[in-house]
Amino acid sequence: MHALYDLAVGPLAWLAFGVFIIGSIYRLLAMRALALKKDGAFMTYISWPHAIKSLVHWFTPFGALGWKENPGVTIATFVFHICLFLVPIFLMGHIVLFDTFRGWSWPALPDGVADALAIVVVLICAYFLWRRLSVPEVRFLTTPQDVFVVSLVGLTFLTGVLAYHRIGDNLVLTTLHILCGEAMLAAIPFTRLSHMLFAVFSRGYIASEFGSVRFAKDW
């Protein structure tokens, strides 16, 4: 298990970050090239002022019609995504790792806060899974990949929380936590998680069409 732990914090960490960063850059550049090659009659209307105005609405809870009409999902989605970024980046345990291996350090969230937010992520993942299985509209759409992706995120945070609270075998859970996190990072460019890369552009494009061609708001 120690060997696996060393592998996870060593070569696999490099691999995961490499796949995530290089993969993301590749996907973005390849998609841009495809858009310029094949969607010229649409890309020509890209208007960043309109895109930004729309994105401000969509990045505001209840700032768009879809958010207003789905209040439960809206609250869960915003809290989930904020925690998803906040906790891993500003967790003391992670900063210590970067400090130890690379000598990088930055301010951390208080442990209690980070712990609470991580538990919130686990609970929201459980809520998302429950929706996938129980809400007819969501169940109709659900594919195995959707379940896999939510489970992966949920497991990453769950194992992290358990390891922090010293519940179960600490080495096993910590190793599992790291492996899940690495799988999640590597999955971002190549699964539905790629909405992290493309959402701003797909929304920005349609906002440009609505703003500069159709003179109508798209939120």
Q: Which of 79, 131, 151, 152 binds other proteins (CB under 8 A)?
A: 131
Q: Does 31 bind other proteins (CB under 8 A)?
A: yes
Q: Does 146 bind other proteins (CB under 8 A)?
A: yes
CA–CA gap between residue 109 and residue 86 (Å, rounded): 9
Dihedral-angle region of residue 175 (phi above 0 means left; psi in -120 to 50 means alpha; beta otherwise): alpha
Contacts of 76 (CB under 8 A, 6+ apart): 124, 127, 128
Q: Does 73 bind other proteins (CB under 8 A)?
A: yes
CA–CA gap between residue 165 and residue 194 (Å, rounded): 32
CA–CA gap between residue 185 and residue 96 (Å, rounded): 19
Q: Does 192 bind other proteins (CB under 8 A)?
A: yes
- In the complex, what is the shortest distance from the CB of residue 201 to other proteins, in angstroms, rounded to a whole number? 7
Q: Does 164 bind other proteins (CB under 8 A)?
A: no
Q: Which of 1, 18, 38, 170 binds other proteins (CB under 8 A)?
A: 38
Please name which of 178, 194, 182 lies closest in space to residue 25, comparing C-alpha atoms: 194
Residues that bind other proteins (CB under 8 A): 31-32, 34-35, 37-39, 41-42, 44-45, 58, 64-67, 69-70, 73, 77, 131, 135-143, 146, 192, 194-195, 198-199, 201-207, 210, 213-219
